[in-house]
A and B are shown apart, each in its own frame.
Chain A
Amino acid sequence: MALDRWIALIILGFCLIYGYTAWFTMDVGLAPFMKRNPIWPSTFPKILSVLGATASFFILFGVEKKEDKVLDIDYRRLHEYKLGQAILLLSLMIVYALLLRPAGFMISTGFFLILGSVILGERKWYMMIPIALISTFFVWYLVQEVLGIYMRPYPAWFGV
């Protein structure tokens, strides 16, 4: 089965769970006076669940004729692309999200920019480190001082 059908199957599952919530569980706690309304909070989701499930069925059973198209990346040959780098960068993003608050903006962003370049194969440390540090400071200054959005620059135990 092609990837687009697998995805349609997953979305169908999602629609079924969404539909189950809308049809069977959502109205349980509804106040009696709201039940007299012609529209309930679950009305629109109910319609959407039916529409979503129908559209997924159409893709799943290939009702619509497909046109052969050359895509930028062929997912069947994914291993031939730089998959490792992409996964490492995604992991780095997750680590950054978890570190941003405890480690502060300066340290976490500096590490993110330097490690991001290292993952992509850059080894010119004398260029990489100054560029990362200068741009980290520049962005922090822009966001905090110019735009006035608070961002803790250093870890809380620095006391700054």
Chain B
Amino acid sequence: MLDGILLGLQTAFSIQMLLMVIGGCLIGTFIGMLPGLGPMSIIAIMIPVAISMGDPAAAIILLAGVYYGAIFGGSTSSILLNAPGVAGTVATSFDGYPLAKKGQAGKALTVAAIASFCGGTIGAVLLMVFAPALSSVALLFHSAEYFALMVVGLSAIAAFAGTGQVAKALLMTVVGLMLGTVGEGTMFSLPRFTMGIMDLQSGLSFVTLAMAMFALPEALFLVLNPPKPGSGKSEEIKGLRITRQEAKSIAPVIGRQSIQGFFIGVLPGAGATIASFLGYAVERNIAPKGEQKEFGKGSIKGLAAPETANNAACTGSFVPLLTLGIPGSGTTAILLGALIALNVTPGPRLMIDEPQIFWAVIISMYIGNIVLLVLNLPLIPYIAKILTIPRNYLIPYILFFTLMGAYIGQNNATELLILVGLGVCATALKFADYPLAPLLIGFILGGMLEDNFARSMQLYDGVAFITARPMTMILLALAVSLILLPSIRSKQAKIKANRVADGD
């Protein structure tokens, strides 16, 4: 491991890489503060820039910097304006905004910065410990297990979608897989579902789909439902310091939430949003009675908990991506797509074949966290100025960067028309509360899933591969139970409720 760390330090401490981290964090913070633009949209917009750099290590370091920056930026607008830029920072506004209203905006931002820093750093240490261990286990996997593992990943994303959402998430995943079959596959050089259109021969572009699923609907939602003026005004930011007493009270919260957040982030489909809400709920429940009343009215514990948890979860979500090549969230799915475009396949072989990328990403997480703390703390009052950009200027630019992202990747104007078409479809799906991340994850994993399926079928001359190895069977059984579990649970709850009613 020490060799790896040294290799990572060597790669990440070059001037170019340091500039990437600093640039990524700053861009992420600036854009992440804009309400309605989440890390997924920002990363999607940044992908063409990252891909055109040509160096996979630099690209993923830039994108990871943007990711942390976006989460941090989201918390700034949550605290100052009560307008979370990212779903993962909604819980931050519960106590952050009341603190800002009390005139303690500076203190709130400092607590958020420290909590983010600790969550991210502890998360990176845990990642360093767990990723190599998991990746050595994953080396024992064959194509059949890979296929089964991807099925588990996809069903977990559907299963964690929430009550009443499992079928929708499942349908979206299948639609994503179907879109992934358009064009010529790697196993068969035969065009499929192209409807005779030449532009579809190489399949749909992942960047176009990512833009259409995330950036465009979010921008359209901003147009349709503009935030009401006067919903919050930036208070004057002063008094960045926190007292020793306050630091002592938030230290255990930060410790607990770093670990909890990290492990929630590792689970596929969970991610920063669930980690932050759960972190907030857990800390409120275990706080002493007197402090419990403070939650929601400006408790610094209530601010530190979600901030720590969401940053630790962001780091945690890199574990399945780097070790198994399976993204657990929409954001890591986009990162996976970018890596594949740069000819790097994340998975257990990544640590062996390209250790400099693996370790550089981990080391860059430390650098990213320090950069966020050092650069953002003194810059906070100036950064907050971006929130005053009028919407009339902002939206055309968001739409323009979305279009550019799709155009630069393919250099094809037809791609822009496909983008608008898919974007309108995605907006309709968003109206009907269909989750869009499973669609993109399905699209990205589709090719790999089919390749592993085809390879196993050929090796075992049919579907016998399912029963040939116990690991495959266990994983597939797990996938089925993950999908069935939510409906069984709700049935049980119904029966229980009926019994109580009968008892009355």
Contacts and interface: CB of A to CB of B under 8 A. Distances in A.
A65 B432 CA distance: 15
B220 A86 contact: yes
Nearest to B220: A86
Contacts of A78: 224
A128 B397 CA distance: 12
Nearest to B191: A41
Contacts of A160: none
Tier of interface size on chain A: 35 or more
Given A81-B225, A116-B400, A89 B395 contact: yes
B256 interface: no
Tier of interface size on chain B: 35 or more
A52 B171 contact: yes
A113 B431 contact: no
B101 interface: no
Contact of A3 (B52, B431, B450): B431
Interface in A1-22: 2-4, 6-8, 11, 14-15, 18, 21
B396 A73 contact: no
Contacts, number: 173
Contacts of A3: 428, 431-432
Contacts of A83: 224
Interface string B161-203: 0111111101100110110010001011010110000000000
Nearest to A47: B453
Interface in A62-91: 63-67, 69, 71-73, 75, 78, 81-83, 85-86, 89-90
Contact of B431 (A49, A64, A71): A71
Contact of A121 (B181, B392, B411): B392
Nearest to B494: A65
Contact of B395 (A51, A94, A116): A116
A86 B162 contact: no
A145 interface: no
Contacts of B193: 18, 21, 45
Contact of B393 (A72, A96, A122): A122
B416 A117 contact: no
A93 B416 contact: yes
B9 interface: no
Interface stretch (B72-80, B290-298, B305-313, B402-410): B402-410
A140 B185 CA distance: 35
A11 B457 contact: no
B1 to A, nearest CB: 36
A45 B175 contact: no
A43 B168 CA distance: 24
B171 to A, nearest CB: 4
Contact of A97 (B164, B413, B458): B413
A103 B461 CA distance: 56
Contact of B416 (A26, A59, A100): A100
B357 to A, nearest CB: 21
A116 B399 CA distance: 9
Given A48-B181, A64-B487, A72-B221, A122 B392 contact: yes
B68 interface: no
Interface in B201-242: 220-221, 223-226
A134 interface: no
A125 B165 CA distance: 47
Nearest to B226: A82
Contacts of B395: 89, 116, 120
A112 interface: yes
B417 interface: yes
Contacts of B168: 4, 59
B432 A149 contact: no
Interface string A88-129: 011001101110110000000100110011001110000010
Interface in B364-417: 390-393, 395-397, 399-400, 403-404, 407-408, 411, 413, 416-417
A160 B419 CA distance: 29
Contacts of B424: 90
Q: Which of B164, B167, B177 has the most CB of A within 10 A?
A: B167
A101 B454 contact: no
Contact of A52 (B175, B392, B407): B175
A149 B411 contact: yes
Contacts of A55: 167, 170-171, 174
A21 B395 CA distance: 41
A78 B430 CA distance: 13
A86 B220 CA distance: 6
B126 interface: no
A100 B229 CA distance: 35
A96 B416 contact: yes
Contacts of A98: 413, 417
B20 to A, nearest CB: 14
A109 B472 CA distance: 53
Nearest to B193: A21
Given A48-B181, A113-B397, A93 B420 contact: yes
A69 B429 CA distance: 15
A40 to B, nearest CB: 8
Contacts of B166: 64
19 contacts: A4-B168, A15-B174, A39-B453, A45-B193, A48-B174, A48-B177, A66-B164, A72-B225, A75-B431, A75-B432, A78-B224, A81-B224, A93-B416, A96-B403, A97-B416, A97-B420, A100-B416, A116-B399, A121-B392
Given A100-B407, A112-B396, 6 more contacts: A41-B192, A52-B174, A90-B423, A120-B391, A122-B393, A143-B404
Interface of A: 2-4, 6-8, 11, 14-15, 18, 21, 26, 37-39, 41, 43-45, 48-49, 51-52, 55-56, 58-59, 63-67, 69, 71-73, 75, 78, 81-83, 85-86, 89-90, 93-94, 96-98, 100-101, 109, 112-113, 116-117, 120-122, 128, 131, 135, 139, 143, 147-150
